[in-house]
Amino acid sequence: MLQSKLFTKTRREAPQDEVSKNAELLIRAGFIHKDMAGVYSYLPLGLRVIEKIKTIIREEMNALGGEEVSLAALQNKDLWEKTGRWDDTVVDNWFKTKFKSDSETALAITHEEPITNLMRDHVRSFRDLPAYVYQFQTKFRNEVRAKSGIMRGREFLMKDLYSFSRSVEEHDAFYEKSKKAYLNIFKRVGLSDKTFITFATGGIFSKYSHEFQTVCDAGEDIIYISKEKGIAINKEILDDENAAKDALTEIGVTRESLVEAKAVEVGNIFALGTKFSEPLGLTFTDEAGDAKPVVMGCYGIGIPRLMGTIVEVMADEKGLVWPKEVTPFDVHVIILSQKDPQVCSYAEDLVSSLERSGNSVLVDDRDLRPGEKFADSDLIGIPKRIIISEKTLQSGQIEVKDRATGEVSFMNEGQL
Amino acid sequence: MLQSKLFTKTRREAPQDEVSKNAELLIRAGFIHKDMAGVYSYLPLGLRVIEKIKTIIREEMNALGGEEVSLAALQNKDLWEKTGRWDDTVVDNWFKTKFKSDSETALAITHEEPITNLMRDHVRSFRDLPAYVYQFQTKFRNEVRAKSGIMRGREFLMKDLYSFSRSVEEHDAFYEKSKKAYLNIFKRVGLSDKTFITFATGGIFSKYSHEFQTVCDAGEDIIYISKEKGIAINKEILDDENAAKDALTEIGVTRESLVEAKAVEVGNIFALGTKFSEPLGLTFTDEAGDAKPVVMGCYGIGIPRLMGTIVEVMADEKGLVWPKEVTPFDVHVIILSQKDPQVCSYAEDLVSSLERSGNSVLVDDRDLRPGEKFADSDLIGIPKRIIISEKTLQSGQIEVKDRATGEVSFMNEGQL
Select from B36, B41, B99 the Cβ nearest to the Cβ of A70. Answer: B41
Q: For residue B45, what is the nearest residue in chain A, using CA coordinates?
A: A69
Task: Assess contact for B199 and B210: CB atoms under 8 A.
Answer: yes
Q: Do A107 and B97 touch (CB under 8 A)?
A: yes
Reduced to 3 states (helix: H, G, I; strand: E, B; else coil), residue B132 is strand
Mutate to test the interface with B, among A3, A8, A94 (most CBs of B within 10 A): A8
Residue B413 has pLDDT above 90, yes or no: no
Residues of chain B contacting A50 with CB distance shorter than 8 Å: 70
Q: Do A133 and B67 touch (CB under 8 A)?
A: no
pLDDT, chain B, mean: 96
Mean pLDDT of A375-383: 98
A413 pLDDT band, cuts 50/70/90, is confident
Select from A69, A74, A155 the Cβ nearest to the Cβ of B43. Answer: A69
Q: Do A69 and B154 touch (CB under 8 A)?
A: no
Task: Assess contact for A364 and A388: CB atoms under 8 A.
Answer: no
Question: Are A3-314 and A331-415 in the same CATH fold?
Answer: no
Sheet of strand B408-411: strand arrangement: B361-364, B331-335, B384-388, B398-402, B408-411
pLDDT digits (tens, 9 = 90+) for A63-116: 999 999 999 999 999 999 999 999 999 999 999 999 999 999 999 999 999 999
Q: Do B33 and A121 touch (CB under 8 A)?
A: yes
Per mean pLDDT, which range of A232-241, A347-356, A372-381, B334-343 is the poorest?
Answer: B334-343
Mean pLDDT of B389-416: 90
pLDDT digits (tens, 9 = 90+) for B179-218: 999 999 999 999 999 999 999 998 878 889 999 999 999 9
Mean pLDDT of A145-174: 97
Q: Do A8 and B71 touch (CB under 8 A)?
A: no
Closest by Cα among A163, A168, A73, A70 to A116: A163
CB burial readout B155-183, b (16+ within 10 A) else e = bbbbbbbbbbbbeeeebeebbeebeebbb
Q: What percent of chain A has pLDDT over 70?
A: 100
* Other C-beta atoms lying within 10 Å of the C-beta of residue A271: 24
Domain ranges of chain B: 3-314, 331-415
Q: For residue B96, what is the nearest residue in chain A, using CA coordinates?
A: A97
A vs B, Cβ pairs < 8 A, gives 141
Minimum distance, in Å, between the CA of residue A225 and any CA atom of chain B: 35
Give B287-291 contacts, CB < 8 A, sequence gap 24+.
Answer: B287/B126
Q: For residue B140, what is the nearest residue in chain A, using CA coordinates?
A: A74
Q: Do A118 and B41 touch (CB under 8 A)?
A: yes
B178 pLDDT band, cuts 50/70/90, is very high
Minimum distance, in Å, between the CA of residue A78 and any CA atom of chain B: 11
Mean pLDDT of A391-407: 92
Question: What pLDDT does B160 receive?
Answer: 98
Q: Do B67 and A74 touch (CB under 8 A)?
A: no
Residue A338 has pLDDT above 90, yes or no: no
Mean pLDDT of B305-333: 98
Q: For residue B77, what is the nearest residue in chain A, using CA coordinates?
A: A36
Residues of chain B contacting A123 with CB distance shorter than 8 Å: 7
Task: Assess contact for B228 and B257: CB atoms under 8 A.
Answer: yes
Question: What pLDDT does B339 receive?
Answer: 85
Mutate to test the interface with A, among B100, B138, B143, B145 (most CBs of A within 10 A): B100
Global pTM value = 0.97
Residues of chain B contacting A67 with CB distance shorter than 8 Å: 5-7, 44
Minimum distance, in Å, between the CA of residue A201 and any CA atom of chain B: 27
pLDDT digits (tens, 9 = 90+) for B49-70: 999 999 999 999 999 999 999 9
Residues of chain B contacting A121 with CB distance shorter than 8 Å: 9, 11, 33
Say how far apart CA B371 and CA B365 lie, in whole Å: 14
Say how far apart CA A407 and CA B13 lie, in whole Å: 65
Q: Do A121 and B41 touch (CB under 8 A)?
A: no
Residues of chain B contacting A119 with CB distance shorter than 8 Å: 7
Select from A42, A70, A122 the Cβ nearest to the Cβ of B69. Answer: A42
Select from B73, B97, B131 the Cβ nearest to the Cβ of A138. Answer: B73
Task: Please report the DSSP string for B365-385 in residue order.
Answer: --S--HHHHHHHHHHHT-SEE
Mean pLDDT of A150-164: 98
pLDDT digits (tens, 9 = 90+) for A162-198: 999 999 999 999 999 999 999 999 999 999 999 999 9
A3-314 belongs to which CATH class?
Answer: alpha beta
Minimum distance, in Å, between the CA of residue B72 and any CA atom of chain A: 5
Residue B327, φ and ψ in degrees, nearest 5: -65, 145
Task: Assess contact for B322 and B383: CB atoms under 8 A.
Answer: yes
Q: Do A122 and B8 touch (CB under 8 A)?
A: yes
Mutate to test the interface with B, among A2, A4, A6, A7 (most CBs of B within 10 A): A7
Say how far apart CA B67 and CA A384 lie, in whole Å: 23
Give me the CATH topology for the region B331-415: Rossmann fold (3.40.50)
Residues of chain A contacting B36 with CB distance shorter than 8 Å: 74, 76, 105
pLDDT digits (tens, 9 = 90+) for A293-334: 999 999 999 999 999 999 999 999 999 999 999 999 999 999
Mutate to test the interface with A, among B9, B28, B64, B121 (most CBs of A within 10 A): B121
Torsion A74-A78-A83-A85 (CA) sign: positive
Residues of chain B contacting A100 with CB distance shorter than 8 Å: 142-144
Residue B338 has pLDDT above 90, yes or no: no
Residues of chain A contacting B155 with CB distance shorter than 8 Å: 72-74
Residues of chain A contacting B97 with CB distance shorter than 8 Å: 95-97, 107
Residue B415 has pLDDT above 80, yes or no: no
Residues of chain A contacting B68 with CB distance shorter than 8 Å: 44, 47
pLDDT digits (tens, 9 = 90+) for A270-290: 999 999 999 999 999 999 999
